[in-house]
Amino acid sequence: MHYDSLRLEDDGNLATLTLNRPEKRNAISAEMIVDLLAALEECANGSARAVILTGAGKAFCAGMDLNYLKEFPSQSPEQITADAKRIANLFRRIWSFPKPLIAAVNGAAIAGGSGMATLCDFTLATPESTFGYTEVRIGFMPAIVSSFLVRQIGEKRARDLLMSGRVFTAPEALSLGLVSEIVPSEKLLDRARELAAALASMSPTALAYTKRLLVKFAEANLDRELEIAIEESARIRTTADFREGLAAFLEKRKPVWEKS
């Protein structure tokens, strides 16, 4: 299949998905969500034994696209909920993907980009890579990723990252367990391919069964939590603080929040 927002390269044992909007720092658009879900499905049904997810240019993914964000205030309640569900479906698909999935984080992975990068089975990053769940800065909330993140690093650390909205470095991400390995930028894709080759040498049945078991351990509770997260993600988009935060972000000014 042809994809407008990404490239899919498949050499048989290995598939590489490259987010391909370098002029937008690979920001997430509605089209990219659709493309990623379709490409992951193609990889799941294809011959590849492992998949690498990376970004074109100098960033992995800088979060939501500005044009995508601009649509939020004008959406109907049904559109708001449907959009939150699409993002939840993408994150859950990455988390539960049946084959080994390796993120090669070649730069900034911010907001939804952090979610995509850290939900892969293996997350390789360069020393210059940065991460951050920055949604609170614009009056939004990192609702969908929160349930996954608590499982990954524990509630106390998740509260720090989700509530502060701070950007953090690859070494800190490594110490938290969100990054598997830090690799020099010039060796990032080579290391990702080396890891993919090692995984491809394993029993594909054993790997698939292991991944399925890990998913089964958590999916019942996770799916209930995602339903709550979808509701909360939709609800905050109706608030004055969200509208003000988004407007301030787009206008490059400091937001003026409502008094609580």
129, two tokens: 């890579």
In the prediction, which pLDDT does 260 show?
64
Q: What is the mean pLDDT of residues 167-185?
A: 98
Widest CA span in the chain: 58
Running DSSP on this structure, what letter comes out for residue 257? P
Active site residue 23: no
Structural domain spans, the chain: 6-200
75, two tokens: 């959406």
Backbone φ, ψ for residue 43 (5° rounding): -65, -40
Running DSSP on this structure, what letter comes out for residue 259? P
185, amino acid identity: S
Paired with 54 in beta bridges are: 18, 104
203, amino acid identity: S
The per-residue pLDDT for range 209-234, each reduced to its tens digit, is: 999 999 999 999 999 999 999 999 99
What average pLDDT is seen over the chain? 96
177, amino acid identity: G
pLDDT at 149 over 90: yes
Running DSSP on this structure, what letter comes out for residue 1? -
Residue among 23, 41, 135, 258 flagged as catalytic: 135
The per-residue pLDDT for range 44-98, each reduced to its tens digit, is: 999 999 999 999 999 999 999 988 888 888 899 999 999 999 999 999 999 999 9
Q: What is the mean pLDDT of residues 11-30?
A: 96
CATH superfamily of 6-200: 2-enoyl-CoA Hydratase; Chain A, domain 1 (3.90.226.10)
